[in-house]
Amino acid sequence: MTPTSERNVTGTSFTRGLGIVTVLGIGLLIVLGLFVSPADVNQGESVRIMYAHVPGAWLAYLAFIVTGVSSAAYLWNRTRSLTWDRIAGASAEVGVLFMGISLVTGSLWGRITWGTYWTWDARLTTTAFLFVTYVGYLAVRGLGGSHHQRARRSAVLALLAVLEIPLVHFSVRLWNTLHQEASVAGRGTDVTMDGLMLFSLFLGVIVFTLMYVWLVLHRQRALALQDMVEDFGLDAALAARRAEEVV
């Protein structure tokens, strides 16, 4: 079976449209975030990092939730399908990427605003654990074996992460309250946001979500093609070789 040239692309008219909207949205976000929106009274220009940081973090959490739900869908007998497994995998990949971005931008912002790259705040520490956990999840996906082996293994792991993360968060909070003052950022202070700043933040969340859907759709199809290559690759190669000999 040789895939036709049409099936070798991961785009459809829907994803193409989505991609265009996403790119335009990113452009608008850059203009609004970097130039049009005002600097913050307290944070100054560094507040602009937030337009990438907050949507990035939101998206990573969304991605990991999608991974958990798709993993459960795969494990449930009535909805068992490798498509769920690929969605879980694609979502985790994108989630790890955005969690990485959000950790880096967050620590840069912290350095400017708090004077330190890192504090042992429960939320920060849990986020770091989340990051490492899903890096491990991706490593497990790469272990090999049959597709269903990979799917089952990684689905169990994804559900274990759902159990692990609240426990880690809870214990870090316990540890933290005993050992350290609560985090530095103006907690408890009355935060009012400029309308344009709020709009930019919302726009960021929407644009990042569109980008997430776009990336996951493509990635999931790429993973499907990859599985197909593994399944049929050898047969196809042999058939092609034989066809050459005949000619």
Partner 1 sequence: MSERRHAFASVRATARLIAVKDLRIERRGRVLTNQVLPFALIVMVMFAFALDSDAVLERVAPGLVWLATLFSTLFVIARSFAVEGSDGALDQLRTSGAPSAGIFLGKALALMVQLLVLVVVLVVAAVVLYRADLSWQGGVLLVTTAVAATGGLAAVGTLYGGLSAGAKGRETLLPLLVLPVVAPVLIGATRATESAFGTNGIAVGEGWPWLGLLAVFAVLFGVTGAIAFGSLLDE
DSSP SS3 for 29: helix
Q: What is the smallest separation between the CB atom of 171 and partner 1, expressed in angstroms? A: 4
Binding characters for partner 1, 144-163, by CB under 8 A (x = yes): xxx-xx--xx--xx-xx--x
Q: What is the smallest separation between the CB atom of 76 and partner 1, expressed in angstroms? A: 12
- Cβ proximity to partner 1, 104 vs 156, nearer residue: 156
Q: Please state, in angstroms and as integers, the Cα–Cα distance from residue 136 to each residue in 76, 129, 141, 162, following that order.
A: 23, 11, 9, 14
- Cβ proximity to partner 1, 10 vs 80, nearer residue: 80
Q: List Cβ<8 Å contacts ≥24 apart for 126-131.
A: 126/165, 126/168, 126/169, 126/172, 127/57, 127/99, 127/102, 127/103, 128/103, 129/164, 129/165, 129/168, 129/172, 130/60, 130/64, 130/99, 130/161, 130/165, 131/96, 131/99, 131/100, 131/103
Asked whether position 76 contacts partner 1 by CB under 8 A, the answer is no
Stretch that binds partner 1, among 9-17, 42-50, 84-92, 165-173 (CB under 8 A): 165-173
- Cβ proximity to partner 1, 140 vs 240, nearer residue: 140
Contact residues toward partner 1 (CB under 8 A) are: 75, 129, 132-133, 135-136, 139-140, 143-146, 148-149, 152-153, 156-157, 159-160, 163-164, 167-168, 170-172, 174-175, 178
